[in-house]
Amino acid sequence: KQEVTQIPAALSVPEGENLVLNCSFTDSAIYNLQWFRQDPGKGLTSLLLIQSSQREQTSGRLNASLDKSSGRSTLYIAASQPGDSATYLCAVNSSYKLIFGSGTRLLVRP
Amino acid sequence: GAGVSQSPSNKVTEKGKDVELRCDPISGHTALYWYRQSLGQGLEFLIYFQGNSAPDKSGLPSDRFSAERTGGSVSTLTIQRTQQEDSAVYLCASSSAGQVNTEAFFGQGTRLTVV
Cβ neighbors of A90 (< 8 A, separation 6 or more) are A4, A6, A21, A23, A33, A34, A35, A36, A73, A75, A100, A101
Give residues 5 to 24 of A whose Cβ lies within 8 Å of B.
none
List the alpha helices (DSSP H) in B1-115: none
> How many residues are recorded in chain A?
110
At residue B99, does pLDDT exceed 80? no
What is the per-residue pLDDT for A106?
98
* Residue-wise pLDDT tens digits, B43-77: 999 999 999 999 889 999 999 999 999 888 999 99
* Residue-wise pLDDT tens digits, A54-66: 999 999 999 999 9
What is the per-residue pLDDT for A109?
97
Region at A44 (left for phi over 0; alpha for psi -120 to 50; beta for the rest): beta
Cβ–Cβ contact B5 with A under 8 A = no
What is the per-residue pLDDT for B97?
58
Give the model's confidence band at B39: pLDDT under 50 very low, under 70 low, under 90 confident, else very high: confident
